[in-house]
A and B are shown apart, each in its own frame.
Chain A
Amino acid sequence: MSKFIIRRALGLIPLLFGIVIISFVLMKAAPGGPAQQFQRNPRVTQTQIDEWLKRWCLSADASPAAAVKEFAGWFGIYNCNTESIFSEKGGLNFLPSSLGGGGNGIIHGDFGYSIDAGRPVLEMITERMPATLMLTSIALILWVSIAILLGVVAAIKRYSFFDQAVTFFSYVFYSLPIFWLGLMMIFLFAVTLRILPPQGIVTPRAWPPFNTDVYWAAFGRNPIGAIIDIGRHLILPVTVLVLANVAGDSRFVRASMLDALNQDFVRTARAKGLPNRTVVMKHAFRNAMLPVVTNVALEIPFLFSGAIVTETIFSWTGMGLLFIDGVGARDYFLLMGILLITSAIIVIFNLVADVVYAVVDPRIRYD
Chain B
Amino acid sequence: MTLTVERATNVGPPAADVLLDVRDLRTYFHVMDGLVKAVDGVSFTIKRGETLGIVGESGCGKSVTSLSIMRLLDIPPGEIASGEIWLDGQDLLTLSPEEMREVRGNDVAMIFQEPMTSLNPVFTVGDQITEAVVQHTRMSKKEAWNKAIESLRLVGISNPERRVKQYPHELSGGMRQRVMIAMALSCDPKLLIADEPTTALDVTIQAQILELIRKIQDETDSALMLITHDLGVVAEMVEDVAVMYAGRIVERGTVEDVLVRPKHPYTEGLLTSIPSKGMRGSRLNVIKGTVPNPFNMPKGCNFAPRCPYRFEPCGAYDPRIEDAHPPDVACWLYTPAPGQTSAPRQSGPERQAGPMTTGAPT
Query: A274 at the A/B interface (Cβ < 8 Å)?
Result: yes
Structural contact, B121 and A273, CB atoms closer than 8 A = no
Query: B102 at the A/B interface (Cβ < 8 Å)?
Result: yes
Structural contact, B101 and A274, CB atoms closer than 8 A = yes
Residue of B nearest to A261 (CB): B74
Alpha-carbon distance A360/B169, docked complex (angstroms) = 14
Q: Which residues in chain B, 86-127, are within 8 Å of chain A measured between CB atoms?
A: 97, 101-106, 109-110, 112, 114, 117-123
Query: B212 at the A/B interface (Cβ < 8 Å)?
Result: no
Given contacts A271-B70, A286-B123, A287-B122, 8 further A-B contacts (CB under 8 A): A265-B119, A267-B112, A271-B105, A272-B135, A273-B101, A283-B123, A286-B122, A363-B121
Q: Which residues in chain B, 297-319, are within 8 Å of chain A measured between CB atoms?
A: none
What per-residue 1/0 map shows which CB atoms of B130-164 lie under 8 Å from chain A?
01100110000000000000000000000000000
Alpha-carbon distance A268/B118, docked complex (angstroms) = 6
Interface centre among A264, A268, A278 (most CB of B within 10 A): A268
Q: How many residues of B contact A (CB 8 A)?
A: 28
Alpha-carbon distance A362/B183, docked complex (angstroms) = 21
Alpha-carbon distance A271/B110, docked complex (angstroms) = 7
Alpha-carbon distance A278/B122, docked complex (angstroms) = 14
Structural contact, A271 and B104, CB atoms closer than 8 A = yes
Q: What is the CB-to-nearest-CB distance from A69 to chain B, in angstroms, rounded to a whole number?
A: 53
> With A273-B102, A273-B103, A275-B101 in contact, is A362–B110 under 8 Å at CB?
no
Structural contact, A274 and B135, CB atoms closer than 8 A = yes
A290 cross-chain contacts in B, Cβ below 8 A:
122
Which of A268, A275, A360 is in CB contact (< 8 Å) with B120? Answer: A268
Query: A300 at the A/B interface (Cβ < 8 Å)?
Result: no
Alpha-carbon distance A131/B55, docked complex (angstroms) = 69
Alpha-carbon distance A329/B27, docked complex (angstroms) = 72
B136 cross-chain contacts in A, Cβ below 8 A:
273
- List 19 A–B pairs whose Cβ atoms lie within 8 Å, in order of A's numbering: A264-B117, A265-B119, A265-B120, A268-B120, A269-B131, A271-B104, A271-B112, A272-B131, A272-B135, A272-B183, A273-B105, A273-B135, A283-B120, A283-B123, A286-B120, A286-B122, A287-B120, A361-B121, A362-B121
Alpha-carbon distance A283/B101, docked complex (angstroms) = 16
Structural contact, B131 and A274, CB atoms closer than 8 A = yes
Alpha-carbon distance A360/B118, docked complex (angstroms) = 19
Query: A263 at the A/B interface (Cβ < 8 Å)?
Result: yes
What per-residue 1/0 map shows which CB atoms of A347-367 lie under 8 Å from chain B?
000000000000011110000
Q: What is the CB-to-nearest-CB distance from A357 to chain B, in angstroms, rounded to a whole number?
A: 12
Alpha-carbon distance A278/B183, docked complex (angstroms) = 17
Report A's interface with B, CB cutoff 8 A. Answer: 263-265, 267-276, 278, 283, 286-287, 290, 360-363
Structural contact, A271 and B167, CB atoms closer than 8 A = no
A267 cross-chain contacts in B, Cβ below 8 A:
72, 112, 118
Which of A268, A270, A276 is in CB contact (< 8 Å) with B119? Answer: A268
A268 cross-chain contacts in B, Cβ below 8 A:
112, 118-120, 180, 183
Residue of A nearest to B106 (CB): A273
Structural contact, B104 and A273, CB atoms closer than 8 A = yes
Structural contact, B167 and A269, CB atoms closer than 8 A = no
Interface centre among B101, B112, B120 (most CB of A within 10 A): B120
Structural contact, A264 and B122, CB atoms closer than 8 A = no
Alpha-carbon distance A273/B184, docked complex (angstroms) = 11
Alpha-carbon distance A265/B122, docked complex (angstroms) = 11
Q: What is the CB-to-nearest-CB distance from A214 to chain B, in angstroms, rounded to a whole number?
A: 52
Which of B104, B105, B117, B169 is in CB contact (< 8 Å) with A363? Answer: B169
Structural contact, A360 and B105, CB atoms closer than 8 A = no
Alpha-carbon distance A268/B195, docked complex (angstroms) = 12
Alpha-carbon distance A269/B105, docked complex (angstroms) = 9
Structural contact, A264 and B114, CB atoms closer than 8 A = yes
A278 cross-chain contacts in B, Cβ below 8 A:
131
Q: What is the CB-to-nearest-CB distance from B227 to chain A, in angstroms, rounded to a whole number?
A: 14
A363 cross-chain contacts in B, Cβ below 8 A:
121, 167, 169
